[in-house]
Amino acid sequence: MNIKKVKVGGHRVDIEYVDKFDTDIDGLCIPQYNNIKIKRDLSGEALIETLLHELLHFIDYVYAGYTLEEETVKIGTKYLFYIFNANDLFNLPDRIDILGFHYDILYNHKFTNSVESLAYSIDHIKQVIMIDSSDMCKEYIVIMLLRSILIQLDNIYNVGFDDSSQHLAQGFYQLFIDNKSIYNLFKWGKV
């Protein structure tokens, strides 16, 4: 892998591969300079996870106000790496795997017993994600799936995405749509 530039929001981010860092880290996100640094000797899954980790920091910076704790990014990256490989989210699957929990997706769901207007809801007991997608474009439906996943990671594992889930979902969607080289790092359910 030799990805040198990515787009996050309106930022063109340089990815620089370095021989070593002054501390025991594998990557570094420096948003004020539109720069991500990755250790050159990483390869395979370690390289992809490190890049995803630093990109999550950058998405947090651009879309959510740089509010995520390092531990949230660290744990969240591991979970998202699995989820992005296990699920074909961009082709509106009928079922998704969230770390071994399988959720059925009900599209075009009408929320009739709700006081407020809902776009989506998650039934944690029945493991169902319901989306009122009747008037939504496909892009927004994918964002709702991404947001549901981030919320479920909070519900199941207390990751720390909940307050930023909408912003992070938008950021991940933009990252994958605008950067085919990043999108192609994952299997998207094709194991």
Q: What is the residue-wise DSSP string for 15-33?
A: EEEES--SSS-SEEEEGGG
Contact 182, 55 (CB under 8 A): yes
Residue 116 has a pLDDT of: 64
- pLDDT tens digits for 58-115? 999 999 999 999 999 999 999 999 999 999 999 999 999 999 999 999 999 988 876 6
- pLDDT tens digits for 129-179? 999 988 889 999 999 999 999 999 999 999 999 789 999 999 999 999 999
Residue 113 has a pLDDT of: 75
Q: Where are the alpha helices (DSSP H) in 65-164?
A: 70-86, 138-157
Place of tokens 């992809």: 48
The one-character DSSP state at 119 is: S
Global model pTM greater than 0.75: yes
Q: Show me where the domains of the chain are located.
A: 5-183
Residue 125 has a pLDDT of: 92
Residue 134 has a pLDDT of: 85
**What residues have CB less than 8 Å from 13, skipping those under 6 apart?**
5, 6, 7, 34, 35, 36, 58
